[in-house]
Every structure is written in C-alpha cells, then in structure tokens.
Structure 1
C-alpha cells in the first residue's frame, strides 16, 4: 500500500514538471524570454572628477561640479523607443536617430543617452519621462566641467568639447588639452548583476574606484589678468588694429602673472566662436619684433666689451649696405649720437654701425642664449619657436636687419623672457605658467619647480642697458614719454616693425607696434610687453606705450611696490 502511494506521488510531481515545460516551450514563450533578458551583468563607468585649474590664489578658472549621466536599459526601453527618443531629443537637444539606436540595442542592459548633464536638468528630465509612463531610464554621477570666469584667460585654459564614443567630453584646446592626463585622473568601473531591470542586492558585484584628477595651479593672477584683458581690448579697438597681445611677468621669478590675447572667446560656449580664436597667439603666432630687439643687440655689445653707453657714433641720413639702403624712422641729417642716444631715438642706422663690431656669428650666439629660436615650453600646445636664421641663411644683409629687429621672428613669451634677462641682472630664467610642477601628456614636467636659469650677460652690462632704456621714456630726448609711470623709474623700448602677412608671404605695408619694459629700473619687479598688430593710429610709443603704462601702474600698486626714491638716468644721447 505504501509503495502504491509513493508511485502516485512521484507521478504527480512529474506531471507538474511536464506541464511547466509545455508552458515554457509552447504556451507562453515570449513572457519568459523577456524575463530571462531582464537578468544579466552590467558594467558601469565610475567617472573620475577632473582636477580644477586655478589661479595663483586658488580662484577657479575651470572646475567640475555635480552632474549626471542619463543611461537607458534597452531591455526596458525597446518597446517605447520611438516615443522616448522623441522626448529625449527635444528635452536634451540630442540627435533623435542616435538616441533611438541606443534605446534599441540588443543584448545590452546599459547604454549612455547623455553625459555630463547638469544634475538639476537630468533629474527633471528623468522625472518627466517617468510621469509620462516611460521606463528604463536611470541617473548616475557624472561631473560637469564649467568655466566660472567666462572669457578670463580662455585662450590659455581652453575647454572640453566633442564627445568621445562613450559620451564623455574631449579636451580640445589650451591647458585642458596639454595637461589632459594630469587633470583627468582615471575612471573606475562597477560590475553587478541585474534582474527585472534592477540591481540584485546580494548578487555578484565588483568595484574599481575612480582616481580623481589633480589640480593645476597657474602663476596667473586672475584680477591682473582681467585688467590686462580690458586694457588690451581698449588699445586694439582704439588703434583700429587687427589683434593684440599683452604679457606681465614677475621679473625675479619668470612667473607669468597675466597673458592676454585679443580677440578672445568665451570657453563656456566655444561653438559660438571661430576655432581660430581657441589658441594663445602669444605662443603660436610669430612676428618680427622690430626695435624692441635693439636692447638685446646693444646689451650684447656692452657685455662683449665692444661698446659703452657714452660711446660716440656719427649717424648718416642713409646707410647704403649690400642689397638695399637702411633708413631711420625719422628724416635727419648727420647725427652725432651716443650708444644711449641710438637706443633713446631708436636709430636703425646707429644700431647697425654699432653691431658691425661683432665678430662673425657672435650676435646670433647672444640672441640664441637670450632664448630666441627656441620654444619656451610653458605649457600650451602648438608653440612656435620662431625663426632665427643660421648657416648660409645668415647673410651680411640679414645680419644688418636682425640687429634692429627685422628678418627674424619671435613669439611674445620668447621676447618678454629675453628682455626680462636684462631686468633680472643678466640672468635668463625660464618663463612659467604653472605654479609648482605638473606633467604634460608627453610626460614632461614643467612649472616653477622645474624652471632653469643661466647667465647671458654680466650684471654690469644689464645695469648699463637698463639706464640706456630709461632714456627712451625721457620727455625731451626719448620716443616714448607716454610709457612713463609717475613716481617710478621705468626702463623700456618701443618697436614698430614691418609685418609679413600670410596671404602673400611678404611685407604688405602694415606694422606691428609694441612696447617692452620693466620697473622699477634699479630693482625690477615686473616686466611687461604689449604688442598691437596692424595698428592704424601710430607706432610703439604712441599706441603700445600708454597701455604699458596702465598695466605697469596697476601691477606696482597691486603688489605694493613703493615709489622709486632715486632719479632716472641722464646719460647723454648726443655729443
């Protein structure tokens, strides 16, 4: 009897299993296939927080704030994909067809719909979708990059732009691009089991934590940068000019306190501007420096013992040399000028006559030591090293023109670093944009901790050149009294150079007006360089000089540099 009961129980159990099998395979296969699809593993990126870019005082120029990624589970969104794609495309300004494709991906439980969306907007969109009956959208942490200072230092900082395949933003310009790996950190990853569209609480789960990016601190002073950009814009527009550059450097450390380009752009909305504005022209664009280069030529002559500030020269109205005559910027008869007078009056002819004393190749060696012909390596990509001719390209004619600043080219940071050598007692120090040390994407460490220095001219040669440069600002004997700063001794030099334009590769009659100088002369604190391309209203003394004076006055006041208690140089300019 017991045996019969046992067989009956076994038969009943087998019948149940058989019925279940029939149901799975024939009666309701779609439902159970969907349930199986609703289970599996999901791999999720855990985004690293990108490091901030801050000024020397910690003010953020670029930072990451709370944001979200909107992701979809195609196992739950396929059925309503067209309607949901329309909703998301309108609310988030996305491409409808790309969204539709992601909502329908087979054998996937995780698809990016939008990355780095402001948290408030992302939450609102997902809530609205759920209210309309859509399912399968989820939010995950995904920091958003912002530029809280607007246009401030945009040409340096750069921006994040075109998304990668995973939807994350790509570094496209400036320091964001050059230091991308340093700033980015390393994303983490989480893998977990899901069922019915939700994470299984006790299912297998592995997490690799994200490693956040590092902060990049610059030498830039945000307040000084703001003022510099204002002054530069006013100067370029006032001169009806094409563009301009202004750089302020700490004379003792080589730290760049401000670096402005105009025209500029807003890196919070880069698509609204031409990509030509995304660069820093102070590093990428080269030009002939003109007469500002004379301070390098004459300081080298003094250092080599080939000239003295009071040395006398007879300067003719025209100097006929090799392929063409050399003129001065003013018409004159025979002038009797000292070396200081040649600089004060910016005589091309006098400079060439003085430079005739250089042994062959000596001027080029000095200019190379000043840093011309070499990149500065301050950080942003695309820096040009300019042109410093060598070998057979350095002809006698080229030698003459280079002595007064033509037939060679520089970028603005190169040039200010070269003149700063004179301000710094004859020692050239590498310019720096990074405070401390940071790694470029190629592994190079740069910054104030990595800056090197070398002596180019003697301290006495630097001192005597500074005294000659003071005469440039003299209201009677100089050419740039508008560059003076009341209460301070200032050393400076004008430049008005012919421009080579890209369209023809030739001089087109336009000019670059510039002024470079440092102050106070006897204990330099700041070196400042202003460059105005295609000025229509005057040369270096009239256009760039007043902008220099505004910037130097602001810098001296901002950093509490006391007025000079000694008198400026009275070196004779004529004999």
Structure 2
C-alpha cells in the first residue's frame, strides 16, 4: 500500500562557494588578514603621530626654556665726533656703562634697589624711588638701573653679586668746550639721538648703525655664553668750518659787550667771503648759557640764523650798491640834504640833529645819513630798490647747512606802503637775519660775488668743498663801495673799529627794537650793530656783531667788539695786512 505524502521537502543541495567549500574558507581568511593589517597601520599612525607631537612639544618646550634663559641687549654704535676746522673736538663720546637688572630674578626688589643706589652713589630720593619701582615690576624681563655711569661705579654695582644684574657699554655725549658754540653744535639725548643744531642736522651720519648681543644666562641671571652677536657700525665724524679758538674769544668779547652796554643779548659772525666758511657763529645772553633743557629757550637758540631784526643803517650799503650798479649815482654824486624829510605820512630825521648839508654819496655812507639814503632810494623808485633787496638774498634763507633758518621778512613790492620807500633804504620796515646780513656784505668783500655760507667742511671722508656762488654786483661797484666803507672806518661813524696796521672797511647800524606783536618800537632801545671786512682792499674776513637791547649806538656798542674779534682772528690766522 502506498504511503501518503507528508508535505516536507527534501533539503536542497548547498550553493557553490559556501563555507562548506575549501575555496570559500580561504577567501574569508584573506579578508580578515587585510582588516588586521589595516587596523595595525592605523595603530602605527596614531602612535607615530603621538610620538611626533611629543617630540615637537619637547622641542618647543626646550626652545622656550632656552628663550627664558637668554637676554638680548642692544649694542649702540659709536657716535661720530663733531670737530672744528682743525680737527679739535667739539662733541665726542666718552666710554660709560649702563647698569640693568632682570626684575623677576630679584628676591627683594627694595633691598636690591637700596644696595644698587648706594653702590652707584645715587642719593636723590625721587630717583631711588623710581629705581625701586622699576625693579618691583616682576613681570618685567629687563629694567634700567642707571644709564651711562662711570665704569668704576658700574663695577661696584656688579660686585654686589645680585642675581640678574648686569652692565653693558654705552657712550656718554660730552662737549669739551662746555657752552662754547653750544647753539651751533646742539646736543644729543640720552639715547644719543641728535635733538638740536649740527647734532640734529647730521644725526643720521653721526649715529651709525646699532648692533645686538644675545647671551644665555643661568638661573641666577649670570651670562654663560654668547649665542648671537651683531657688531655695531660706527657713525661718521663731522668737521665744521668753525675755529674753536676764535669762537671762544668772540663769545668772551660779546659777553663783555652785553654787560658793558646793558644789552639783553648779542650775536656775532666771522665769515670767509671767498669760500662762505663760517669761522665763528656766536650767541650770548645776559643770563648766560647753562645747558639745554634748563628753561631758557632764548639762550639755546642759534639766533644768527633763526631770529630776525631790523638792520638799520648797515642796510644802506645795499641801497647804495644797487644805485651804483644801476647807474643812478656815482660815488661823487651830491645831494642837498635837509635835517629831515617827509615820505608819505612819515617824517624821517637824522640820528643826530644838524642843519642842511650837501653830501656826496661817499659822505652819505661815511656819515650814515638817513635823509641821504632816502633820497637815493627815491631816485631808484620802489621796484628798482626791491630788485636789489632780492638780489642780495633778503626775504629767503641763505641755505646754510643748519636747521630752522629764517628767510627774514620782506614784503612784496606791491604791498609796500607809501612810506616804505623811505624806510627800507635805511634798513627799517624790513627784517633780516645776521647770516643774511653777513652774506650780503661778503658779496661786496668778494668783488661782487656772493657765496653760500656753510658750517660743515667734511662728513666722514666726504669733503664739502663745492662752493655755490653767483655775481650780485659788478666788481667795479664792489670796489667803489669798499673804498667808501673804508672811509667810514677811518673818519666816519666806525672809527672804533680801526685796527693798527690794517685797513678796515665797515658800516655801523642802529635800529630801534621792534615791540612784539607789531606794537611799534621801543623808544631809545636799539639793535646796535657793526659789520666790517679786512684787509679792506683784499678782504679775507667779514665780521659782524649785533648787540640787542642797548641804549647805545652801533659805533659805540658793536664796533669795538668787531675790532677786538677781527684783530684776534687776523693774528690767529696769520693774515698779512
């Protein structure tokens, strides 16, 4: 009998490639091996990365540690010296030491400050407190204790053995002649940067280039070794045209002139008219010069180039030179001169009362006639006179190599008032600097050729011998004016400038001092001046002195000063008559 179906199916056969076959089992193993390799590589990358990170961190920490134990100090360059024309020192660097500290290495800043101040002989309480304050700044890695002290004092500070206290060499700027020529030389600050005068004008050349030094310190702040050193480059020397001997003598003469005349100040210039070299540029005041930054701005200024004044009768040589050059007059042209003359709304008088006279141009200059100068100026007319004012260089800087030069005050001719043609020919209504006046006078001394004035003869190895010159008046006119100026000294208003054995040519000037703010003039208070040249026929020197704020005239207040300075300079330079 047949059996009925149960509904169950026979199990199907296994598929190809199942684990049941040896080939499938091998493939599975391969996959597992590849996975393990991949995971192992990832592990190696992670471990390697960590190692690199740790190494990098160690390197960084090592660098940081070294950095924490090093200090870098600037090495200032040697600042070039300022010399006179003969190579004598006017400004020079003196070896000094600067004491510094690393505040965070000091256990007791107050005690350290007291010890250091005692060793450095610092007694002022304010300074001691300031040093204590600097050393108490625990965040600071560097603090000055004292700048530019004597090496012996710095050595005493080091011998205290305080941690983190060190020294380095610096220069202290010194001026061997003290206040002589101070306004020209100027001064350098604590960091040896030029702040005035030639020190400022030639600061870049004088400064050089600083260096640096990095040293490794032990935990106590003591230097172990130098790890970096950059040598500083010294600055260049600057040689001036000044002669220190004549400069010193001239300042002494002018100081005595200020005292004897009751003046406020005085200015002096000695110039070689052939080369433009300034041998003397002197500025003195009643109070005297006591150093820069002492509160006396007037004593610090080089007034010979910065300050303006009305020149007075000295300016008559410009008027007469221009009139001669234009052919308006000759030395022998005569004028009838009343005691006074009206020009527009102003009456112009002579400095000394007199009656009506007949003077030649020579006599107008000899006796310094105001009315005569006005008559010549009116003959030239305002545009003719203005042309010569400009030709002699007034109203613009001379270009001398010194900072802060003024160009003076000269109104454009179209802005002249009706009385300007009366004022300007005799040196009023116009403001000039002493260097402008010396430069103009030098053109007459140098046969009509004006030379740009200069104070610097050499910078480093570069000699400044390029002379800028141009003709202002014909040589014939220059000789005529010199002859007239010689008479003015021999028997005119400038007799107190005569020098035995030499022929001197010159001109006096007396101008009322202008009040501040254009408030008119100080009655009876003058700028008394004199300018001279010698030897008169072939001048080697031009000397100007302007005495400010005196009740005396130029022939009495300034001519004697010029005589003394000129005589000394002629002898010192061995200039024959």
Distance in 1 between residues matched to 2:245 and 2:100, nearest whole Å: 41
Q: Select which of 181, 193, 196 maps to 1:173.
A: 196
Aligned to 1:47: 76
Contact 1:37 1:107 in 2 (8 A): no
Matched, 1:462 2:484: no
TM-score of the superposition, structure 1-length normalised? 0.83
Contact 1:147 1:267 in 2 (8 A): no
Q: Select which of 198, 201, 213 maps to 2:222.
A: 198
Aligned to 1:28: none
Q: Could you give the per-residue CA deviations for residues 213-246 of structure 1, whole angstroms, max 9, x where no partner exists?
A: 1111110000001110111111111101111011
* 1:496 Cα offset (Å): 0.4
Aligned to 2:208: 185
Structure 2 counterparts to residues 295-334 of structure 1, below 5 A? 295-334=317-356
Aligned to 1:290: 312
Contact 2:378 2:421 in 1 (8 A): no
Contact 2:265 2:286 in 1 (8 A): no
Aligned to 2:532: 517
Contact 2:288 2:299 in 1 (8 A): no
* 1:302 Cα offset (Å): 0.8
For the aligned residues, what is the CA RMSD?
Answer: 2.6
Q: Select which of 481, 492, 497 maps to 2:506.
A: 492
Aligned to 1:513, what secondary structure does the other structure show?
Answer: strand
Distance in 1 between residues matched to 2:417 and 2:574, nearest whole Å: 48
Aligned to 2:4: none
Distance in 2 between residues matched to 1:147 and 1:312, nearest whole Å: 55
Aligned to 2:457, what secondary structure does the other structure show?
Answer: coil
Q: Select which of 223, 245, 262 maps to 2:284.
A: 262
* 1:100 Cα offset (Å): 3.0
Query: Cα 1:86–1:270, aligned 2, differ >3 Å: closer, same or farther?
Result: farther
Matched, 1:530 2:545: yes
When structure 1 is superposed on structure 2, of 107-116 and 35-44 the one drifting more is: 35-44
Aligned to 2:59: none
* 1:497 Cα offset (Å): 0.4
Query: Cα 1:383–1:38, aligned 2, differ >3 Å: closer, same or farther?
Result: closer
Aligned to 2:112: 84
Distance in 2 between residues matched to 1:336 and 1:173, nearest whole Å: 52
Contact 1:529 1:548 in 2 (8 A): yes
Q: Select which of 153, 161, 169 maps to 2:181.
A: 153
Matched, 1:371 2:393: yes
* 1:105 Cα offset (Å): 4.2
Contact 1:118 1:144 in 2 (8 A): no
Aligned to 1:99: 131
Structure 2 counterparts to residues 25-36 of structure 1, below 5 A? none
Which consecutive residues of structure 1, in runs of 5 or more, have no partner in the other structure? 1-34, 440-444, 564-575
Matched, 1:62 2:85: no
* 1:70 Cα offset (Å): 0.7
Aligned to 2:146: 114
Q: Could you give the per-residue CA deviations for residues 531-557 of structure 1, whole angstroms, max 9, x where no partner exists?
A: 001113x20111111111111111111
* 1:505 Cα offset (Å): 3.6
Aligned to 1:44, what secondary structure does the other structure show?
Answer: strand
Query: Cα 1:193–1:505, aligned 2, differ >3 Å: closer, same or farther?
Result: farther
Which consecutive residues of structure 2, in runs of 5 or more, have no partner in the other structure? 1-63
Matched, 1:251 2:273: yes
TM-score of the superposition, structure 2-length normalised? 0.83
When structure 1 is superposed on structure 2, of 102-111 and 327-336 the one drifting more is: 102-111
Contact 2:79 2:192 in 1 (8 A): no
Structure whose CA Rg is larger: 2
Contact 1:150 1:266 in 2 (8 A): no
Give aligned pairs, total.
510
When structure 1 is superposed on structure 2, of 356-365 and 147-156 the one drifting more is: 356-365
Contact 1:39 1:195 in 2 (8 A): no
Q: Select which of 519, 535, 545 maps to 2:559.
A: 545
* 1:120 Cα offset (Å): 2.6
Q: Select which of 423, 431, 435 maps to 2:453.
A: 431
Contact 2:100 2:144 in 1 (8 A): yes
Contact 1:417 1:430 in 2 (8 A): yes
Query: Cα 1:493–1:365, aligned 2, differ >3 Å: closer, same or farther?
Result: same
Q: Could you give the per-residue CA deviations for residues 352-377 of structure 1, whole angstroms, max 9, x where no partner exists?
A: 11122225422222222212111123
Distance in 2 between residues matched to 1:454 and 1:504, nearest whole Å: 35
Aligned to 1:386: 408
Distance in 2 between residues matched to 1:170 and 1:306, nearest whole Å: 54
Aligned to 1:69, what secondary structure does the other structure show?
Answer: strand
